[in-house]
Chains A and B, each alone.
Chain A
Amino acid sequence: MIELTVNGQNRRLEVDPSTPLLWAIREQLSLTGTRFGCGVAQCGACTVQLNGTAIRSCVTPIAAAAGQEITTIEGLAPSEDELHPLQSAWIEHQVPQCGYCQSGQLMSASALLAQNPNPTDEDIDAAMAGNICRCGMYGRIKSAIKTAAASQAQTAATVGFFDPAEQAGQEVTGG
């Protein structure tokens, strides 16, 4: 029995502890938005977040996620009727083609923006290098990340709290 938190919900799984997180998420929890691409952490299609850090779920034994917080693509949007700024930007830039890699791209990108709200091109390259898109939509992905970063910054400025780029160290007054 392994217990973990997935998209904010506590889940208990009867599963061999060596099973990669990917297959437990897909087969046991029916969260099929996380994709299988290579099985050896080479393509990034299976990217989820473990305590906010992007990881490759195809090589992460579920035992390593015990007691931890996992976020999948299904948990990226803040609520049912709201999209994450990256998801909106992905639509605005018409990023996906076949779409198979995009859950992983979004989970890598959202981990980046959570840690670095105003990334440079080099920061984006470094954070996204592990995610292959065989449709080759890298230019659009990069543009969409920048759009989302800008929209987050604007939202933060409008509501008057926490712009980490300018107000590092100040207390967070809202969320």
Chain B
Amino acid sequence: MGKWTRRGFLTTAALAGGGLGIGIALRPGNRLPGLAKHVAGDGDTLLNTWVMLGEDNGIKVIVPHSEMGQGAGTALAQMLADEMDADWNLVTFEEAPAIEDFANHSMGHGMLLAGADLPDMIVPSADGLMIKAAQALDLQITGGSLSVRTTGEYGMRTAGAAVKQMLKTAAADAWQVSADDITARSSHLYHQASGRSAPYAEFATAAADIAPPVKPTLKKPDQFTIMGTHVERHDIPAKVDGSAQFAMDVQLPGMLYATVQRAPTFGGGIERLDDARAREMAGVVDVIRLPAAEGGGIVGAYAVPESVAVVADSYWTAKNGLAALDITWSQTAQQALSSDDIFAQFARDIAARTDRASDVEQGDLAGAMSSATLTVEADYQVPYLAHSCMEPLNATASVADGRCEIWVGSQNPLGFRGEVAKTLGLDVDQVQVHNCLLGGGFGRKAVADYAVQAAQLSQATGKPVQLIWSREEDIRQDRYRPAIASQFRAALDESGDLIGWENTYVDKHEPAEAPLIPYAVAAQDIGHVASPTHVPFGAWRSVDHSQHGFFTESFIDEVAHAAGEDPYAYRADRLKDKPRHLAVLKKAAEAADWGTPLGKGRGRGISLQESFGSLVAQVVEVTVENGETRVDRVVAAVDAGFAVSPDGLSAQIESGIAYGLTAAMYGEITIENGAVKQSNFHDYPALRMPDAPSIETHIIDSYAPVGGAGEPGTPGVAPALANAVFDATGVRVRRLPLNRPEVKLQIEDRASA
């Protein structure tokens, strides 16, 4: 392969066919300085960026994704190891360091394939150039349920197969036989005719001199031996004995502790600060104002308002110091704004239809509406939501001698590195990001503001600083799942057939297809209007699907009831040309005994959602008593193409459902006086064990392209729940969460009517 160069890397990657960095052979003496320390022993050979084969025949898979609970590392290692015909017992893995050589180009590629919005500079180049663009954009992101379906499918599998082929070629050379006659099994190579065999490690060095194959042969599903089997996650033992390392667990010599606060009203700053009382407190080291700035990166530019931090000898002292500050926050134009004002604005903007842009425009909607026997209309709303990861935002930074080391849990470590470097005035090479385990991410930890603050505080004090946000700050300075509103009108003909579907909503983000429906409806007009607010927003598990899943799957239920038909059958009748959709819907319905009678006060609801390349149908069973809803059972059917790690997929669906259920039952961030009213788990509750339903997941392997796992469970639970409440009570919930007092009143009114 010659000397490793950036150009060499790109060439190799382009040759691989999918825009993938599979084949960087890094030999002793020919290693990137940034990678050298990851090759532990002299006898170790880094066969490419993602696979390392040790002298002891051990295989280390280097995973370019964060671990935030989704278990992607295990699934990705399974994919690589299977194609490599490795002995799973010899496989370990670790997260890639935050340097661009590990950037997950295949994620960028997957986003292109999925048609997601990416900056224009990337879109025309779905080939090798993609890699360069992706590097420029600092892609080493964990999100979009993409790890397995892009890094795994396009990267890990190819890398594993390529390595196996290179080893076979090296062995063929050494044994003077044909590579075609060599078989690989369990990390060993065999040549049957001569009776020779040897462990992979014997040929590692020789294989590293062989150019990676252009298109290594991938296995067919019936040849899988590790993919599709149950393997235990490697990260779990450390999570049961307290030894798992989250960013907050780092302790550096001489480290100080800090906590921080911004103006509660978004966009506000500090008008006056009296820190005399705080500075007098024993243990307080400094009170530091961090100026307003602009953040940026793959998530787009965003304003970071001014904040004030107290630095002390312990977190407790810092927290008390912060409470002792006398701060007058500056007034903003949104000082009096409330959630009611925001929803009123949404309603006005939907009614005005100004600059409405269509996602889908097909058939003759006006004709359908005018010929309709029956029209159904409904307005839906969902509130802002915080992420409330178990681990509050935190980062530990050490800035000294023109360098910055930072320990953080990040979904975007390269982006964080870039932002820290920019803020401190350093080159990216002078910033080292140690990405730790994430105590939940859900989209929040793709935004670098907290890491930048920690770095600024270390720079200002000249000491290592561990910055920990209070839970209150974490909830009040989030990047929220947007509140939005959506208006529907449906046209039905005399037979109850759905002939027209009109939908206008505010505030479009990603993915673009979130508001689309899978059902056969000839005339459709789905579109959106802008209605910006001052509330900062960001990605939240399943992104726009979290809102539109509730809207569309509730409204189709309304339409089915208006037509006098069973909501499951009505959906199924409109999926005749979509066998995968139909199969998951049917599976969920059958597994949940759809159609069998339930007792008084009980109900069932169904939903179907395609998101992130996977299909999920859910049936929720509820009991409603005295206006209170209890979720008894959730049955989910999922088609993610192929379940690489079946238990991992089930666990992700369970988790996605629980996350969506928390939002549907209780989740509401309310804006009062321009600021978030909620502050901690007492007023922003999370699902707890006594209220958690049993969740059953049924997996269908359709062998369609592999889909995501982390997000697809979330969108469908809210509509299935609301549909179940309707089934039980006749009350249609069109605004979440379910525990709003208005919902209880409606149910009680209906019951007594």
Contacts and interface: CB of A to CB of B under 8 A. Distances in A.
Interface string A109-145: 0000000000000001110111111111111111000
Interface string A25-39: 011001111111111
A54 to B, nearest CB: 14
A98 B692 contact: no
Contacts of B249: 32
Interface in A32-56: 32-40, 42-43, 45
Nearest to B468: A36
A43 B475 CA distance: 14
Contact of B392 (A19, A36, A138): A36
B462 interface: no
A112 to B, nearest CB: 12
Given A43-B390, A138-B689, A90 B240 contact: yes
A136 B653 CA distance: 10
B692 A99 contact: no
A91 B655 contact: no
A67 to B, nearest CB: 21
A96 B692 contact: no
Best-buried of A43, A77, A94 by chain B (most CB within 10 Å):
A94
A87 B392 CA distance: 25
Nearest to B686: A132
B240 A91 contact: yes
A157 interface: no
A88 to B, nearest CB: 8
Interface stretch (B36-44, B64-72, B175-183, B287-295): B64-72
Interface in A82-98: 83, 87, 90-91, 94-98
A141 B689 contact: yes
A23 interface: yes
Contact of A134 (B389, B468, B647): B389
A96 B243 contact: no
Given A74-B242, A96-B240, A36 B248 contact: yes
B242 A103 contact: yes
A95 B655 CA distance: 11
B272 interface: no
Interface of A is mostly: loop
A72 B69 contact: no
Interface of B is mostly: loop
Contacts of B509: none
Interface stretch (B95-103, B124-132, B437-445): B437-445
Given A76-B241, A134-B659, A98 B651 contact: no
Interface string B311-322: 000111101000
Given A135-B440, A136-B655, A139-B695, A96 B315 contact: no
B48 to A, nearest CB: 29
A97 B70 contact: yes
B621 to A, nearest CB: 15
Interface string B466-509: 00101100000000000000000000000000000000000000
Given A126-B690, A129-B688, A33 B248 contact: no
Contacts of B315: 23, 27, 36
A68 B642 CA distance: 53
Contacts of A99: 69, 235-236, 238-239, 244, 437, 439
Nearest to A125: B690
Nearest to B657: A136
Contacts of B657: 136
Contacts of B237: 91
A73 interface: yes
Contacts of A137: 651, 654-655, 658
30 contacts: A16-B316, A26-B248, A27-B251, A32-B251, A33-B242, A35-B390, A36-B392, A37-B392, A42-B680, A43-B471, A43-B681, A43-B686, A45-B390, A74-B241, A94-B236, A96-B235, A98-B390, A98-B438, A98-B439, A99-B69, A99-B439, A100-B389, A100-B390, A124-B689, A125-B689, A126-B690, A129-B688, A135-B658, A137-B658, A138-B688
Closest CB pairs A-B (n = 6): A33-B242, A136-B658, A100-B439, A99-B239, A98-B69, A97-B69
Given A40-B471, A43-B390, 20 more contacts: A35-B248, A35-B439, A37-B390, A74-B243, A76-B241, A77-B241, A96-B69, A96-B235, A98-B441, A124-B689, A125-B689, A130-B688, A132-B687, A133-B390, A134-B388, A136-B657, A136-B687, A137-B655, A138-B658, A138-B689
Interface of A: 16, 19-20, 23, 26-27, 30-40, 42-43, 45, 72-74, 76-77, 83, 87, 90-91, 94-103, 106, 124-126, 128-142
